[in-house]
Structure 1
Amino acid sequence: MLSSSRLHVAIDGFNLALPRGTGVATYARTLSHALREMSCHVDVLYGLNIPAHAKAVLREVLFFDRLGEEEKRQNGRFLTARWKAQQRAVLFGQRAVEIPIDGHVDIRSFRDRLPAFNRILNARDLFVTATRHYRRTRRFMAVEIPNAPDIMHWTYPLPIRVLGAKNVYTIHDLVPLRLPHTTLDDKGFHFRLINDIVRHADAICTVSEASRRDILAFAPASDEILHNTYQAVRRPDAGIDVSGETLQRVLQQLYGLSPDGYFLYYGSIEPKKNIGRLIEAVLSAQTTRPLVIVGAMAWKSEGELRLLKSGVKAGRIIQLEYLPEADLMLLVRGARAVVFPSLSEGFGLPVVEAMAMSTPVLTSREASLPEVTGDAACLVEAYDVADIALGIRRLDDDDALCRTLREAGPRQAAKFDMETYQQRLKSFYAQVVSSDSSRGWRRKSGFK
């Protein structure tokens, strides 16, 4: 603990509420568990379509009804109660209300996706309303939380601030600005938001030295408030604790695979992940081990889509759109290697997860990836198909190399264990709490 009193930290549920898990959702969930283990009081603030005036029991029902569901309509129809609530939020800010978790709803199906928390809070349509407000006015939306936290830790760049709290923001990477052709983000919006956060945040944290350098390059004024806390990788018990016999049986029965008999990529299918070059490399590597790809299409690149279909048709690629975490970790455990030659990563969670499970890793020399893998991975040039193919062939043929990587992986992954992460968080929060209050919001900036 930072002091004799219990630190009160709130985090946002922006990514936690999405229908399918993202890397940022995993980051937020892991952060919540780290905070609880540090004896902090943890609030989680969502922005679901739940009327603030609804009775407590109905708020609980609506929360679990709408958690993780794609919402067809985010704007309230003209003059409806929802529309009026959105207009009031723009004019006066938002006030969060508590979602009581009192056992009226059977939540066992949600346990894997819920964060650790003392309180669940919700401000109706918070994230969509705040983004629309910022686009129109370049002002952050103010949110009032009953019994305000000491620190509001936004796990993603969002144009929102909580009144009466130190507002800190995690910027995971600057891929939309460094590799603009690989994302569909509004680049002007993203550039303005990052720089406005830098100007007005009480602190910013990021997840690697590579990301820290990128943030400084685009926003040099961030230097005095920018901290690298890395992030933690929680022990994936589902894949580690099963016996070899059980692993072999599950892989064969569910996927027609055998341990050590396939390469694995998991993550979103998008240009940043370099899927096109990976598929080309696999098809040219002359390996009999197929590539298993687990991930949904984030947005389509026609060239990559054609290659993917060609590889699937040829029997060289097996595509699975989505798997529960426990099933995915079994695939990681059984793979010959996880292959992840990404063009850029803020941290690179899949490679650290694989190393923690003693699965060899092939990854690129780009951004944070050499930093987090150290000497425990096979590194290749991301833009060179021949080099990626060479790396795959090495892992395919060289049992001694794979044994070396299996032994080195857990030692490297231990640098990002929960205990180490908590020490970094304690140091970060101590500096935030002791800093001058309301650093950015006092300035005459025109911000709400």
Structure 2
Amino acid sequence: MRIGLDTRNTGRSGGTGVATYAATLGEAYSDVGISPAWLHDDMANHTRPHSFPRKIKRFFQSAHSTHHVQPTSDGYVGHDLYRAAEIRDRTFHTPISIKADTPPDLMHWTYPVPMRWHGIPNVVTIHDIIPLLHPEFSDTPTKRLHRRLKFWCDNADAIVTVSEAVRQDLISFFELPPQKVSMLSQSVSFATDLMEASLTVEAPCPKDGFLYFGTIERRKNIGRLIKAHGRSGTMRPLILIGGLGFGGAEELQALAHHPTPERVHILPWCSRPALVRAIREARCVTFPSLAEGFGLPILEAMALGTPVLTSFGHATEEIAGTAAFLVDSTSTEALTEGLTKLDYDDALSLELSSSGQERAQAFAIDPYVLRMKNFYQRLLTG
């Protein structure tokens, strides 16, 4: 069985949840004898400034509805595929079609890009529809996103989600037949060499603090978290690791009202080994997001034995189960009480550490591999 995978997000600096998802899929394939066929873009790492002639050439390239790709040692490569598809979608409101002399058995798009592989089954993972349900949390053009998602809802052979909450959102919003959408979740794992590196890397931040990691943006509720930390009176630091996203600068304005702003540490970036060390040494990982499709930081913290504070409802509660301290994250008072409780209650911290590790086992790589393999076999055999 040979399954195609796009590389639309895997090469992006800083890493994303979608990039982690795609990489995990590739790992899962090799574990069960499935051959991943990566769809590469020969311009993905092109760093020269985009000249006017280059833009003109891209525009004319995007006018072609079909793009032929060539085989490589680990899949296929096409010329400027992803950017050309983006331009075609924005200009002509239609996706490009991919063709190859020897295509994979099935193409799994790890993100709803405006592309489709001609002549074989196409699967797409839709991670969330937050911009459609909560446009106040995103600067994503909603009309464009709606058009792309509607295309996939109409044309995909199957749709995959990573949480039941998102599955129900899709079925309801786009009025889809339930059997077309499969919830296959996501796996969390840490490679042995990564764990070893985390033991020797320099610590990026103080230990025993309240840690948030991810993009600093409006839907992550960082402003309310900062307020709650200040009101709690805790002596433990609040560490925020991540770059600024939509509304992030406004969220950080809460620092102006923090009684001891020097206890809030902001790191725009740190290496993956350093992040693993930071998670392991934290008193608690805080993830009070207002809207999520999954919540990978919840599981990563649990797998590493670190207690988690996260939000009631939707995907965050679904992923955390009863193994996290759940709060109404729309309430600064509730967040304050949660931080205060986790600040002092050692017994609760030990309980959450243990239950979190147990919860993370349900998202281990082995059961995930079996779900994916069975899903592909059912789709290919009809």
Question: TM-score w.r.t. structure 2 length?
Answer: 0.93
312 and 149 in structure 1: CA distance in 2 versus 1, 3 angstrom threshold: farther
Q: Provide the rounded CA distance (Å) in 2 between the counterparts of 1:83 and 1:98.
A: 27
**In 1, are the aligned partners of 2:225 and 2:335 still within 8 Å (CA)?**
yes
Q: 2:152 aligns with which of 190, 197, 214?
A: 197
State percent identity of aligned pairs: 33
Give the equivalent residue in structure 2 for 1:96: 69
302 and 354 in structure 1: CA distance in 2 versus 1, 3 angstrom threshold: closer
Pair 1:359 & 2:332 matched: no
Q: Provide the rounded CA distance (Å) in 2 between the counterparts of 1:142 and 1:296.
A: 34
Question: TM-score w.r.t. structure 1 length?
Answer: 0.80
1:300 deviates by 3.4
**In 2, are the aligned partners of 1:90 and 1:133 still within 8 Å (CA)?**
yes
**In 2, are the aligned partners of 1:338 and 1:354 still within 8 Å (CA)?**
yes
1:132 deviates by 2.0
Q: Provide the rounded CA distance (Å) in 1 between the counterparts of 2:270 and 2:249.
A: 24
1:99 deviates by 4.8
**In 2, are the aligned partners of 1:46 and 1:122 still within 8 Å (CA)?**
yes
Pair 1:297 & 2:244 matched: yes
Give the equivalent residue in structure 1 for 2:77: 122
Task: Give the AA of the match of 1:77.
Answer: F
242 and 87 in structure 1: CA distance in 2 versus 1, 3 angstrom threshold: closer
RMSD: 2.3
125 and 332 in structure 1: CA distance in 2 versus 1, 3 angstrom threshold: same
**In 1, are the aligned partners of 2:216 and 2:248 still within 8 Å (CA)?**
no
Equivalent runs, 1:138-177 vs 2, <5 Å:
138-177=93-132
Equivalent runs, 1:112-261 vs 2, <5 Å:
119-235=74-190, 237=192, 250-251=202-203, 255=205, 257-258=206-207, 261=208
1:223 deviates by 2.3
Q: Structure 1: where are the runs of 5+ without partners? A: 1-6, 50-65, 101-118, 436-448
91 and 303 in structure 1: CA distance in 2 versus 1, 3 angstrom threshold: closer
Alignment deviations for residues 227-248 of structure 1 (CA, whole Å, 9 cap, x no partner): 00001001354675589xx67x
127 and 89 in structure 1: CA distance in 2 versus 1, 3 angstrom threshold: same
**In 1, are the aligned partners of 2:161 and 2:167 still within 8 Å (CA)?**
yes
Task: Give the AA of the match of 1:44.
Answer: W
Give the equivalent residue in structure 2 for 1:77: 52
Give the equivalent residue in structure 2 for 1:444: none
Secondary structure in 2 aligned to 1:221? coil
Paired residues, what number?
382
Secondary structure in 2 aligned to 1:91? coil
Q: Provide the rounded CA distance (Å) in 1 between the counterparts of 2:16 and 2:272.
A: 12
Task: Give the AA of the match of 1:12.
Answer: D
Q: 2:8 aligns with which of 3, 10, 14?
A: 14
Task: Give the AA of the match of 2:379.
Answer: V
Q: 1:404 aligns with which of 347, 351, 366?
A: 351
Q: Provide the rounded CA distance (Å) in 2 between the counterparts of 1:12 and 1:71.
A: 23
Give the equivalent residue in structure 2 for 1:432: 379
Give the equivalent residue in structure 2 for 1:114: none
1:222 deviates by 4.6
Alignment deviations for residues 311-344 of structure 1 (CA, whole Å, 9 cap, x no partner): 5972121111111111100000000000000011
Task: Give the AA of the match of 1:293.
Answer: L
**In 2, are the aligned partners of 1:293 and 1:318 still within 8 Å (CA)?**
yes
410 and 301 in structure 1: CA distance in 2 versus 1, 3 angstrom threshold: closer
Secondary structure in 2 aligned to 1:318? strand
Give the equivalent residue in structure 1 for 2:367: 420
Pair 1:36 & 2:38 matched: no
Give the equivalent residue in structure 1 for 2:322: 375
Equivalent runs, 1:51-70 vs 2, <5 Å:
67=45
Q: Provide the rounded CA distance (Å) in 2 between the counterparts of 1:71 and 1:309.
A: 40
120 and 430 in structure 1: CA distance in 2 versus 1, 3 angstrom threshold: closer
Equivalent runs, 1:271-350 vs 2, <5 Å:
271-308=218-255, 314-350=261-297
Q: Provide the rounded CA distance (Å) in 2 between the counterparts of 1:239 and 1:407.
A: 22
Secondary structure in 1 aligned to 2:5? strand
**In 1, are the aligned partners of 2:58 and 2:84 still within 8 Å (CA)?**
no
